[in-house]
Copies of this chain bind each other. A is one copy, B any other.
Amino acid sequence: MFFPMTEFDFIKKIRSQANARGAPVGLLRGIGDDAAVLKSIAGGNLVISTDLLVEGIDFRRSTGQPNQLGHKALAVSLSDIAAMGARPRWTLLSIGVPGDVWDTGFIDQFYEGFFQLADRFGVALIGGDLSRTPERIVINSIAIGESLADRDVFRTGAKPGDQIYVTGFLGDAAAGLRLIERGARLHNDNPSAADTNSIDHLLRRHLQPEPRVGWGLLIGDQQLATAMIDISDGLSSDLNHLCDESKVGALIDSSSIPIDQLVTEICGRRALDPLMLALHGGEDFELLFTVKPENISNLPKRVDGVSVTRIGEIRDSSHGVQISEGSKIWKLEPGGWEHFKG
């Protein structure tokens, strides 16, 4: 088999692309050694997250562009850093590709999308690994952030009486995925303000999600939340995770869950329940956080154009996690994505 570029040549290319972006803060050694070396800031903490993406499970090669996959690989890890209230600084990326993919423009476009998102948040690529695979693309992305001591926001701090908030809208990514599964494709590869009301917007919410870095930073910096998690598995699952960790219950008001008008319309035409997408859809990468009543007035209305919505209240653990629909109250079971559920 002929490959136009060796592994080592490719690593050199990525290294020069990383280096062309200047010397990242605190980095003593990046790509090109056995490991990356960071000089930690005095009094600071390091926040580290890792995500594995497997072709055929977490993404399909045919439904999106390679640059969108590069974007998403980093976005899912930046979302974790945001959910800790930390500032993302560095990233390491492992990628395994089959020979037939290597021999195309795929991997260049993948890194283009990856770097484009990294550059927007000043995140530096400092290492990684490259391997061959027999058939499928696999990606592992690592994000490392910095926070000041006592500014990290864990999943464990929610207390009864705290109000529950989410950023943005829920169910968009799930609606986008369903449209893609039924054959929809992006009309325009370049996002613009004009398409926030279009099908493209929903597809992009699945293909190229936006990590809520600005919100995460603000919440960490100003200590606005008692607990926080990113909604990757779905609101029902991630709220249950947060409540488990905090040893509390919660009551969500279904009518207050922010659902995009477009999602409601599309669901209406396809006999789907928009609330089910919003509760269990997953991959919205919005932030879910809890706020003490006395801190509510300090919450900004928007950060980077993204709104925030109160959806319920933390209660003591004896109630479990519940949702109200009109006068009825149900137990909200984790119903989101669970890879190994039978």
Binding site for B on A (CB under 8 A): 1-3, 5-8, 10, 28-29, 32-42, 44-54, 56-58, 79-81, 83-84, 86, 92, 94-96, 99, 102, 126-136, 138, 140, 142-145, 147, 149, 152, 154-156, 228-230, 245, 334, 338-342
Contacts and interface: CB of A to CB of B under 8 A. Distances in A.
Contacts of A7: 338-341
Given A6-B340, A7-B339, A44 B50 contact: no
B138 A96 contact: yes
B48 A92 contact: yes
Nearest to A138: B138
Contacts of A81: 34-35
A12 to B, nearest CB: 9
Contact of A340 (B33, B102, B129, B341): B102
Nearest to A77: B35
A29 B152 contact: yes
Given A34-B229, A135-B135, A46 B56 contact: no
Contact of A133 (B2, B57, B94, B338): B57
Contact of A40 (B40, B57, B229, B245): B40
A57 to B, nearest CB: 5
B155 A54 contact: no
B340 A3 contact: yes
Contact of A47 (B35, B52, B144, B245): B35
A45 B40 contact: yes
A230 to B, nearest CB: 6
A40 B46 contact: yes
B36 A47 contact: yes
Contact of A37 (B32, B147, B340): B147
A329 B130 CA distance: 33
B339 A94 contact: no
Contact of A50 (B96, B132, B133, B142): B142
A225 to B, nearest CB: 13
28 contacts: A3-B340, A3-B341, A6-B338, A6-B341, A7-B340, A8-B334, A8-B338, A28-B45, A29-B152, A32-B155, A32-B245, A34-B79, A34-B84, A35-B49, A35-B80, A38-B48, A40-B46, A48-B92, A49-B127, A50-B127, A50-B129, A52-B95, A52-B130, A54-B131, A57-B131, A94-B140, A135-B136, A142-B142
Given A47-B37, A50-B127, A52-B96, A154 B338 contact: no
Contact of A57 (B128, B132, B140, B143): B132
Nearest to A339: B132
A133 B41 CA distance: 38
Contact of A154 (B29, B42, B126, B230): B29
